[in-house]
Structure 1
C-alpha cells in the first residue's frame, strides 16, 4: 500500500474535539475533506498526522496549539468605543466583524462583550491556544 506523502492529494474523514471532549468539527455526513499534503491548506499538525498514512488507516492525534492555530495573543483583544462603529450598527456578542489596518490588510474580529460605551473584540482565531484532538481516516489518495 502506498503511504500518503507531501504533494499527494488526499481525501479524509475526520472528527475534531477539544481537550474537554467537545466536538468542534467533523466531516460526518459530508464528503471527505480533500487537500494536498504540504500545501498549507490545513493546519500543520493535521498535515503531519496524515502524512505516512495508507488508504483505510485510522488514527487519533492530539495537535498542540503551536501546530494548530497558534497561541492566543492578548494584544488582539481590543476595546472599541461605540462611536467608532458604523452608524446604525447594533453589535451583539458573537457577531463577526472585519476591519482594515493601516496597511489595508483585512482583520477578522469576534465581538466578546458589549456595553453602553464600548464593545470588546477579539482578533484571535476561536481555536487559538487550544490543543486539538482528531480522529482521522484516510479514505483515498487521489
Structure 2
C-alpha cells in the first residue's frame, strides 16, 4: 500500500456507486470490475473528482454531490418544441423515449420526449440527472502516479 493521495497527476482504480437521495441506484460497479482512470482525463466529472481528492488506498467515502458540481442545474432553454412533421412518420412516440439528435457541429445529443400531440413534440435536452443531488460512494483500491505520454 502506497502513501500516495488521490489528486492531479494520479491514476486511480476504484469502485463507485451513484444513487439518488431516496436510495434509487443509478449506477454502480461494486459488483463488477473496478474502474481505472487518470485524474483529469474526463472520465469522471470534475466535481466528483474533487470530492475524493486526498483519499488514499483503502479509503471509502460517501458524499452528496450538489447539481452545480455534478450534472448541472436544469435549464428551461434546453426544452425544445419540434414540429411533429420533422419526425419519421413510423416512429412510435411515447413519453420518456430517448431520441438521438445532432447539433450544429454534428455532435450526438440525446433528448427525452416529454409530451407530444399531432402538431408538436416537446423534447428535453437536459441531462436526466440535472438538478438532482447525487449520493456518490467510492472505495479506493489503488492509486499510482499517472504515466505522462
Give the aligned partner of residue 108 of structure 1. Answer: 110
Question: 1:92-123 CA distances to partner (integer Å, 9 max, x unpaired)?
Answer: 22222122334434322111223333322110
Match of 2:98 in 1: 96
Q: Return the alpha-carbon distance in structure 2 between the equivalents of residues 112 and 37 of structure 1.
A: 36
Comparing 28-37 with 104-113, greater Cα deviation is found at 104-113
Change (3 A) 1:101 1:4: closer
Bigger shift: 105-114 or 23-32? 105-114
Q: What is the aligned residue count? A: 142
Structure 1 position 35, deviation (Å): 1.4
Residue ranges of structure 1 left out of the alignment (5+ in a row): none
Question: What is the distance in 2 between the residues matched to 1:86 and 1:7?
Answer: 48
- 1:56 alignment partner in structure 2: 58
Query: Aligned-pair distance for 1:22?
Result: 1.8
Matched, 1:12 2:14: yes
Equivalence for 1:2: 4
TM (norm. structure 1) is: 0.89
Cα distance per residue 1:68-115 (max 9 Å; x no partner):
111111011122221111232222222221223344343221112233
Counterparts of 1:14 and 1:35, CA distance in 2: 13
- Misfit runs of 4+, over 6 Å: none
How many Å apart are 1:3 and its aligned residue?
Answer: 1.2
Moved more, 87-96 or 57-66: 87-96
- Distance (whole Å) between structure 1 residues aligned to residue 81 and residue 51 of structure 2: 38
Partner of 1:80: 82
What secondary structure is seen at the aligned counterpart in 1 of 2:6?
Answer: coil
TM-score by length of 2: 0.85
